[in-house]
Amino acid sequence: MDYYESVVIDYLRADRALFVNTECCIQINPGHNPDGSGPHWYCDAVVADFRTQSVFLCEISYSEELTGLIKRIKSWCDNWDGVRAALARESRLPKEWLLGLEPWLFVPQRCVPTLLKGLSKIGTAPPNFSPRITYLEKVQPWLYCSWDRVGETGCCDRHKLALSRAFPEAVAK
């Protein structure tokens, strides 16, 4: 696990409806050894959301350029049907949940414009998803209930207040 990944994983796990598989191997072609079977990636976390019956490919980056992250998203796009098939085959995720499969990206707030610019260069061909983006700054443990986080808006008055103080622009929306 890389620097800061554990903070994001704790944030994800705090929502009791999310089930998290960290460092999940997504292997396009079946085979015993992913290194010999073709394209594959180790996703920081695959998250199954039982509340919405959806699945997310979570990637965490604190890089300024986000080149590696954008390259990974491009590779997934180029192999999207294979990624969904691999998750259904290897992780036994329901195919219906994978219809809305999307990346969930955790990056520093200041890097979001760079990320959006990079994602726009990937193109508009299918899968045509709109990644969920969460600022790394929003996953600080004092901004949510570590035992019962629900969604991204805060879980109780105390944590909603802390979140609104840290991110006043989020409250205005």
Is 157 a residue whose pLDDT tops 70?
no
The pLDDT of residue 173 is 45
The pLDDT of residue 91 is 93
Mean of per-residue pLDDT scores for the chain: 86
Is 170 a residue whose pLDDT tops 70?
no
Please tell me the distance from the alpha carbon of residue 91 to that of residue 69, in angstroms, as a whole number: 23
The pLDDT of residue 39 is 86
- Cα radius of gyration rounded to whole Å, the chain: 16
Domains of the chain, CATH where assigned? 5-139 (3.40.1350), 141-173 (no CATH)
Is 171 a residue whose pLDDT tops 60?
no
* pLDDT confidence band for 148 (50 / 70 / 90): confident
75-129 pLDDT per residue, tens: 999 999 999 999 999 999 999 999 989 999 999 999 999 999 999 888 666 666 7
Please tell me the distance from the alpha carbon of residue 94 to that of residue 87, in angstroms, as a whole number: 9
Percent of the chain with pLDDT over 70: 82
Q: H/E element holding 69?
A: helix 67-78
The pLDDT of residue 169 is 66
* Mean predicted confidence (pLDDT) in 10-31: 92
Spell out the long-range contacts of 111-115 with Cβ–Cβ below 8 A and sequence spacing 24 or more.
111/61, 111/63, 111/64, 111/66, 114/64, 114/65, 114/66, 115/66, 115/69, 115/70
Angle between helices 112-120 and 67-78 (to 10 degrees): 30
* pLDDT confidence band for 172 (50 / 70 / 90): very low
Between these two residues, 32 and 46, which has the higher pLDDT value?
A: 46
Region for residue 130 given its phi and psi (left: phi exceeds 0; alpha: psi -120 to 50; beta: otherwise): beta
Retrieve residue 166's tokens: 């840290």
* pLDDT confidence band for 145 (50 / 70 / 90): confident
